Amino acid sequence: MNLAVLPGDDIGPEIVEATLRVLEKADHLFGLGLSFQMLEVGMAAHRRTGTTLPDETFEQAKRADGIILGPAGVTAYPPAADGGLNVPGTIRKRLDLYANIRPARSRTYLPRAVAGLDCLFVRENTEGFYADRSMFHGSGEFMPTADCALSVRRITTQASRRVAKLAFAYAGRRRRAVTMVGKRHVLQTTDGLFMREAESEAALYPHVVLNEMDVDAVAAELYTHPEGFDVILTTNMFGDILSNEALALSGGLGLACSLNLGDRHAAANAGHGSAPDIAGKGIANPIGMILSSAMLLDWLGDQHSRPEYCRAAGSIEAAADVALQSAEHRTPDLGGRGGTRSLSDAICRALGEPSTDLDVAGGS
């Protein structure tokens, strides 16, 4: 299976390199037959080619079986007219990666983790309250008069329905509960449409329980009663905000992993930014990127009926748990004394040492 690897900016190359070491180890242990195609994007590509996302790079990524995409330092890019294309945004749009899948699981051995959190956000990824995604032409933010600014939120039946379908499919493999989140009594038309589509989809999944909660209530309940959530289905910006909260509650933003998913393509993309403040210091937490890549392996295993991919994904997650338990290996953002390299080395060692927690020999 060919994976396109786009390291990104700032800490991107460091955490992607750490991720590739773990994937190479998993490839060797599980006989995955992975090959990696390194493709330059971001400011490195801009310096060489005048654009942050060369067309040829995009075409090669499109042809790959899966994409590993390091975080992009988009805020430092030049304007789009000067070649500063938003790399993850453009890939998401062109490949129609319409759902952002973000798990948050408490690791109670971490200093700041709340107990009982184990949820999965299924966040709509193509529309909503984002100025670049709501209009056919022009920006979703505009000023009709000098003292008045407006912002448009686009919600469509098609986008709502397909993301709901994914949420129910994921819930079927978890604890069979979906909480749809918005503020329907205030945003009656848009959240009303989003939730009606989820309710229609729910009829096809009678074994999954669907309930509804307001976004403000969820913000509080994630902290006070995190055990109440399994799959959380929500619109783009609510999902962005709540999933960051959940990640912080699970132990820290450096753990943020995610998969951007469409019907034919998937991109592993850590849920945090490019952290320019710590780039080059060797202390970036690679866990988010590593676990995002494990999610990609799991998806590939499902798509291509390759159970060894799913086993490799489960073992990488278990190995990360083993490695994270030691403050010697953990990076400073998680209160540890380790670095990017020592943490990924510890994961590779844990992967290579079958234990009761790991499934390197094969199993469920």
CB 121 within 8 A of CB 232: yes
CB of 258 to ligand ATP, least distance (A): 11
Which residue is closest to ligand ATP by CB?
273
Query: Half-sphere exposure of residue 189, counting CA atoms within 13 Å on the CB side?
Result: 6
Secondary structure (H, E, C), 309-346: HHHHHHHHHHHHHHHHCCCCCCCHHHCCCCCHHHHHHH
Q: Is 285 in the site for ligand ATP (CB under 6 A)?
A: yes
4-63 residues in contact with ligand ATP (CB under 6 A) are: 11
Among 88, 103, 273, 314, binds ligand ATP (CB under 6 A): 273
Q: Is 275 in the site for ligand ATP (CB under 6 A)?
A: yes
CB of 76 to ligand ATP, least distance (A): 10
CB atoms closer than 10 angstroms to residue 305: 8
Nearest-angstrom CA–CA distance, 222 and 266? 28
Grouping H, G, I as helix, E, B as strand and the rest as coil, residue 233 is strand
- Residues forming a β-bridge with 99: 124, 261
Site string for ligand ATP, 293-332 (x = CB under 6 A): --------------------------------------x-
Among 23, 167, 218, 253, binds ligand ATP (CB under 6 A): 253
Tokens of 214: 């307001």
Residues that bind ligand ATP (rule: CB under 6 A) add up to a total of 14
Q: Between β-strands 118-124 and 231-234, what pairing exists: parallel, antiparallel or unpaired?
A: parallel
**Which range of residues in 86-94, 191-199, 284-292, 318-326 is near ligand ATP by CB under 6 A?**
284-292
Side chain identity at residue 301, one-letter code = G
CB of 234 to ligand ATP, least distance (A): 18
Q: Angle between the 12-30 and 287-303 helix axes, to the nearest 10 degrees? A: 40
Q: Which is nearer to ligand ATP, 180 or 255 (CB)?
A: 255
**Which range of residues in 135-143, 213-221, 282-290, 316-324 is near ligand ATP by CB under 6 A?**
282-290
Among 8, 54, 103, 288, binds ligand ATP (CB under 6 A): 288
Nearest-angstrom CA–CA distance, 311 and 165? 25
Q: Is 336 in the site for ligand ATP (CB under 6 A)?
A: no
Q: Which residues bind ligand ATP (CB under 6 A)?
A: 11, 253-254, 272-275, 277-278, 284-285, 288, 331, 333
